[in-house]
Chain A
Amino acid sequence: MLDLLWLVVALPLAGFAGLALLGPLLSRRAVSAVGVGSVGAAMVVALAAAWTFIERHPGHGAWVQPLWQWMHVGSLDVSLSLCLDELSLVMMLVITVVGFFIHVYSIGYMAGDEDYSRFLAYMNLFVALMLLLALADNLVALYLGWEGVGLCSYLLIGFWYRDAANGRAARKAFIVTRVGDAGLIVGLLLIFAYLGTLNIQDVLVRAPAQWAAGGALATTAAALLLAGAVGKSAQLPLQVWLPDAMAGPTPVSALIHAATMVTAGVYLIARMNGLFVLAPAVMTLVSVIGAATLVIAGFSAATQRDIKRVIAYSTISQIGYMFLALGVGAWAAGIFHVVTHAFFKSLLFLGAGVLIHAVGGEQDLFEMGGLRRALPTTFWAFLIAAGALAGLPPTGGFTSKEAIVYFASFSPQSHWLLLAAALLGVFLTGLYTFRMVFLAFMGPPRHEHPHRAPASMVWPLAVLALGCLATAALDWPADLGGRAVFSDFLDRVLPPAASLPVGQWTVPALQIAGVALSLAGIAVAWVITRPARVAGGSAAGLRRFWLAGWGFDWLYQKAVVRPLLWVVWMDRHDPVDRVYTGLARSAAAGHRAMARAQSGQIAWYALAIAAGAVIVMTIMVVLS
């Protein structure tokens, strides 16, 4: 079954090719069949492959399926190969499973769109490239997937291309992530230059052997990879693109900007764990970035009016948690949060999609309200997801977040500030999540007849809600009687997280504190969303600052974009050309001056001859 692994990537790719080339010719139904079916088939193959992998349990190692040689020049040997190990397996499953349900959801959500086939084509392409990213066994192939999903993100954010604002958002996403990618590519260069390979396994073997821990090379390499991760995962300081990326259709937000692509940065760091371990400074940086991001994004999320922007900021914030986890060495916890986050965040987006659909495209929370009765299934699914996001038991979110909070306090790399940030984040998460829930579902209904969503949109919500709950079982805390199945599974490829010795009651205490803080946040949310206060939803002072995402956009506009545009503007006529124009002008001036000497006057010509005679005579006589 593992031999068919390539199909996981190839099926969505084939779906893309079919839709791109033949899309306009196919019926809507056929388009759905191809677009969703390809991902569904990929999911089946992925599950089968995963099952085989786990069952056969090929020892401590990865299963590699070489596809073809990509480039082989001198010492560079890059092949396209798929590599299945515990980590990529997890990612593969998340991508295919969550991806499949989002595709199903899209059938209903995009039903009215004239570019339906194009949409599914892009989505299929995305799934294929994301899988390639996850399964790549070398950094170049990973980069192929990395850039490829960036392209899909760009295409899908700007899917409704007629609105120039969407196009702007799409370009912003591509360009900002590309800034990070420039760092990533330099990191690749550095790794190849000093380790002589770009194969991930080889790098992880050679790096500790050749590079001293904490050395400059390891630190630089890790920092450069981190730059790529920061860009892709919308972490400080490159987080600005993600809120704007909400311009795309909601399934896109769910799939790309919540469940999969934005967590690629986390995946990259986890994938290259052996390298990051060699660079403690960078590890600290990762955790600091994560902590700072989660707090900053949390505040912003709490002030947004647009439901999708709330979720977007929450995504940034949650990825901050993941970074925090990675930074303190809790690899499995970080990845576990990726998994749970994929479920509850995509569910949130899909739910938001239903809401938006219901109220006729309106995204402003303050224009919603009271939708609980009209959309009961959605309400309950959304509630479960919100609970997971807020870290309430018994959801997957609870387990993963508690694990992160735990390691933030008791990992050898932990610091009380990290813990404080994590806990503050928990509070904020509860606050903004339930502010959203309350504003959307509670209170008096503002819409007489909300649109009912089709079944294809509703049942994926239910499945994902189940997923939110089910994932909790994967790593249920031991003190609550669970088993760390997931962590153990991943610990075969990732370094096990170290922990300081802790007392018996410490873990439950932390859990209680987490839940309590979350509940406190919910309570605050309840208070501020009371109808009486809703009217005062106008932004002022700090709230406006948070609403605007801490002014990062403003800063970049002033510090980067404007100067760049100024340079471009000054430069647009190619100043170098002036030099040549000047040369041509001076030649023309020379021509005019000399042409004036050609006066036609015989006397003048004769004078020239006489002068010439004198000059020639002088040269000859003087030199002889």
Chain B
Amino acid sequence: MMLLCLIIVPLAGGLAALAAARWSDRAARATALAATVAQLALACVVWAVGGGLTLGAGGAAMNVDWTWIPGLGIRFALFVDGLSLLLVLLTALLGVQCVLASWRSIQERVGFFHFNILAALAGVTGVFLARDLFLFYVFWEMMLIPLYFLIRIWGHQRRLYASLKFFIFTQAGGLFLLLGILGLHFVHAANTGESTFDYLRLLGGHMPLQWAMPLMIAFLISFAVKLPVVPVHTWLPDAHTEAPTAGSVQLAGLVLKAGGYGMLRMAVPLFPAAAVQVAPVAMALGVVGIIYGALLALGQRDLKRLVAYSSISHMGFVMLGIFAWNDLAIHGAIIIMLAHGLTTGAMFILVGLLDERLHTRDLGKLGGLWALMPRMGGAAMVLVMGSLGLPGLAGFVGELLVLLGTFKVSVPLAAAGAAGLVLSVIYSLRIMQETFHGPRVTESKLPDLTPREWVIMATLIAGILWMGLWPQRFLDTSQPAVKKLQESAVALTEARR
């Protein structure tokens, strides 16, 4: 039931915010904030109660398993393990930040805005918690519509184009997922006579390679679009750039994670034999993403776009880590996902703050802002360093683990990944140089971080430092889950030994 509440709370909060907007914008904001805080608190309770949960544990107080469409064996079933839990925590945390970050910047249609924010949160949470693959798909798609509206209505100049592109890309990917899920269902039914969409039952079913391969690819396409992996990444820069701050945070912080989660939870464990075959290509694509994303980030003038491309680069590490598939690499991928959520989320908020104050994101029109806003500059410095993988900050832990894991599988790819770190320094430092450093562009007085903004930044930076210096709490949470995943994907795990 707790898991259901995790989904219901933001959803109900969203509806309440929509209703509250009739009364006043402030009420809508407060409602949304209350809902997100409640979700965060709930997630923390789940964390405290069952730190290293494995799937299905926790009983009825935690899980939900109701009949839904018995004809096809579809159930409304939720579960949680350490992996899901970490991502849910990230979701809830970023949810709060989204609401806070939009407090002043969103003045139009406030109720509908927060409804969309919270609905997307509910969708993402659902993705992380769904046990039934049908339900997983429902949540997978459910989060798109609110995000579409966020981009379409409150986005920047090219919002129309970006929102369409975002929707069509991810939906097209999603449809392949649908195909894959159905294929899995029927192959499983043909093999065992059991008609089910239950993840736990589909897991470990033996599947001939000529089936596993196309199904795996269908799953993979969908997740690759979300993650995103080059060459299906091109929706991301547009969507991230044009979305309002909260939208960008949700996209970067949460939606991308859904892709990584899908690969970890579904694509590999369900089709381990196919994963063995796919892994070299997938890892190579990961490395291509690392380098290609970084190169593109280097070429951007729009700060938000730069950050967006850097996401592609970071997600390349996730891809690399997942398909390296040893415990180090998987944990690394998980940590990178969390770290990227915090770092890039905060980065987008920061860009939003700059945009609010200066009404531009063009790097050519920024510079020397440190003198005006040293606190913001300090925050930016931490984020930039987190982005370039400075040890002691969250990203490094993940990258190190991924590289350590990858090295055991493929030396050249690990080396290429490490080379990507050089490029990440170049673009990251460029952010700092062209915004806070350099000659001053404006003489007008700009307010430094307000207390509200300070709270946002401080929370996220605290998280980044925590994860960078003491990641063990997170690793401990995900360890049993990863172990389970590895046991499920015996073929790939064996291949990695």
Instruction: Give A residues with C-beta under 8 Å from B.
Output: 20, 24, 68-76, 80, 118, 140, 143-144, 146-148, 151, 154-155, 158, 161-164, 167, 170-171, 174-175, 178-179, 181-182, 185-186, 188-190, 192-193, 564, 567-569, 571-572, 574, 576-577, 579-580
Contacts and interface: CB of A to CB of B under 8 A. Distances in A.
Contacts of B429: 154, 170-171, 174-175
B397 A71 contact: yes
B234 A576 contact: yes
Given A73-B475, A571-B292, 13 more contacts: A73-B479, A76-B401, A80-B469, A144-B391, A144-B396, A147-B390, A155-B381, A158-B433, A162-B368, A162-B437, A164-B437, A189-B403, A190-B411
Given A162-B439, A182-B418, A71 B475 contact: yes
Contacts of A178: 421-422, 425
B374 interface: yes
A144 B471 CA distance: 14
19 contacts: A20-B378, A24-B374, A70-B472, A71-B471, A73-B328, A140-B391, A158-B433, A158-B437, A167-B437, A175-B425, A175-B426, A182-B419, A185-B400, A185-B403, A188-B400, A188-B404, A190-B407, A190-B411, A568-B295
A141 to B, nearest CB: 8
Nearest to A181: B421
Contacts of B470: 68, 70
Given A70-B472, A182-B418, A576-B233, A148 B391 contact: yes
Pick the most buried of B404, B411, B436: most chain A CB atoms within 10 A of its CB.
Answer: B404
Nearest to B486: A74
A158 B331 CA distance: 36
Contacts of B471: 70-71
Interface string B394-433: 0011001101100110010011001101100110011001
Given A68-B470, A76-B404, A162-B440, A569 B422 contact: no
B406 to A, nearest CB: 8
Interface in B70-95: none
A192 B381 CA distance: 31
Contact of A192 (B407, B411, B415): B407
Contact of A574 (B237, B403, B407, B430): B237
Contacts of A564: 298
A76 B328 contact: yes
Nearest to A177: B425
A6 B230 CA distance: 45
Q: How large is the interface on B (under 10, 10 to 19, 20 to 34, 35 or more residues)?
A: 35 or more
Contacts of B385: 151
A175 B423 CA distance: 8
B214 interface: no
Contacts of A76: 328, 401, 404
Interface string B359-390: 00000000010110010001001000100001
A193 B231 CA distance: 31
B438 interface: yes
B8 interface: no
B207 interface: no
Contact of B407 (A146, A167, A170, A193): A193
A20 B374 CA distance: 10
A60 to B, nearest CB: 31
Contacts of A161: 368, 370, 436-438
B58 interface: no
B438 A167 contact: yes
B165 to A, nearest CB: 8
A155 B390 CA distance: 13
B439 A192 contact: no
Contacts of A72: 472, 475
A148 B422 CA distance: 15
Nearest to B381: A155
A154 B390 CA distance: 13
Nearest to B327: A74
B208 interface: no
Interface in B297-323: 298-300
Contact of B300 (A163, A186, A572): A572
Please provide the 9 A-B residue pairs with the shortest distance between their CB atoms, ordered closest to farther.
Answer: A572-B299, A144-B391, A161-B437, A189-B407, A577-B234, A74-B327, A568-B299, A568-B298, A576-B231
A192 B400 CA distance: 11
A579 B472 contact: no
A189 B299 contact: no
A531 to B, nearest CB: 40
A276 to B, nearest CB: 21
B280 interface: no
A179 B418 CA distance: 10
Contacts of B439: 162-164
B477 interface: no
Contact of A164 (B327, B400, B438): B438
A189 B418 contact: yes
B425 A174 contact: yes
